[in-house]
Structure 1
Amino acid sequence: MTPKDAALHLGISQRMLRHYESAGLMAVGRTLNGYRQYSPSDLRRAARIRDFIATGFSTREIYAMRACLSDDGSGPCEGGIAKMTEKLESIDRLMAELQERRAAVLDRLQLLETQLDSESPRSEPQPA
C-alpha cells in the first residue's frame, strides 16, 4: 500500500507515518525504485502506534515497549502491562493536580466576585 493510501486508511498524515519510522517504531519495506510500501503487518503496527499516542503515550514511551507493536506471539507483550499501569498512574496524578488547580481558581474567582459585590456603589433612589 502506498504511503498516501496507508495514511488515509489509518486516518493520520503521511508525515506522521514517516515520524513513526524515524522514531524507530517501524521499518517499512521499499519498492525497487525506493518508494515506501506498507504491508498489512505495517498497517497493524502503525494502528497500534496511533492508538498508543491517542491514549497519551509519547513516541519515546512507545519505543520502550515496541515489543507490544508486533504481530508476533499471541499473549501480552513483555512489560506492556507495567508500562500501561505506569501511564494510568501518571494520568491519575495529573487529574488530581488539575482538580486542585481548578478548585483554587474557583476559590479565587468567588473571592473576587464577593469583593466586587461589596465594593460596588449602591445606587441612591432618585427623587420623582
Structure 2
Amino acid sequence: MQIGELAVRAGVSTRALRHYEARQLLESSRLDNGYRDYAPSMVQRVLWVRELLECGFSTRQIHGLLQFLQEEEDSEGFLACLQQHMEKLAALDALQAQLAERRERLAEKIGRYLPVQDGLARPPDLRPPQPVHRQLTLEK
C-alpha cells in the first residue's frame, strides 16, 4: 500500500510516517515510480509506535523495542520489553514527584506575595490531588 493509504488506515499523517521511516521504525520498498510501498503489517506497527510515543517513549527507545514486537508473552524478549516499560513507568513517577514538589514550592511562593487583609479569604489550595499508584513487580 502507498503512504496515503497507510496514513488513513493508521490514523496518522504522511509526514509522521516519513518521520517514523527516517527513524527506522517503519520499512518500505520502492515501486518503479519511486513511491513508497508498505506491507499491510505496517498498519499494526504504526499503531504500536504511536502507543509507545503516547506512553512517553522516544523514537530511539522505540527503535530498541522493535526486536520485541513479535515476541510471545512468556519469552525472554517479552520480559525484557516489559522490564523497559516498568522502568519507563518508574521514571515517569519520579518526574511526577519532582514536578509536584516544584509546584508546591511555587504555590507557597505565590501565597507569600498575595495580600491578606481582614475579610479577604486566603487563596484556594493550589496543590493537586495526590494520585494513587500501584507498585508493579516483574516475576519470572
TM-score after normalising by structure 1: 0.79
Percent of aligned positions that are identical: 33
Deviations 1:51-82 (A, max 9, x none): 1111111001111111133xx34336712111
The answer as to whether partners of 1:10 and 1:43 remain within 8 angstroms in 2 is: yes
How far apart in 1 are the matches of 2:82 and 2:39?
27
How far apart in 2 are the matches of 1:16 and 1:97?
31
Q: Which of these two proteins has the greater Rg computed from alpha carbons?
A: 1
SS in 1 for 2:45: helix
Correspondence for 1:8: 8
Correspondence for 1:38: 38
1:111 aligns with 2:112: yes
The amino acid that maps onto 2:82 is I
Show structure 2 runs of 5+ residues with no match: 118-140
Written as runs of structure 1 = structure 2, the 5 A alignment for 1:1-128 is 1-69=1-69, 72-75=70-73, 78=77, 79-113=80-114, 116-117=115-116
TM-score after normalising by structure 2: 0.73
Deviations 1:76-100 (A, max 9, x none): 6712111101100110011001110
Residue 2 of structure 1: CA displacement?
A: 1.9
Give the ranges of 4+ consecutive aligned residues of structure 1 lying more than 2 Å apart after TM superposition.
29-34, 72-77
Q: Which has the higher helix share?
A: 1
SS in 2 for 1:117: coil
CA RMSD after TM alignment: 1.7
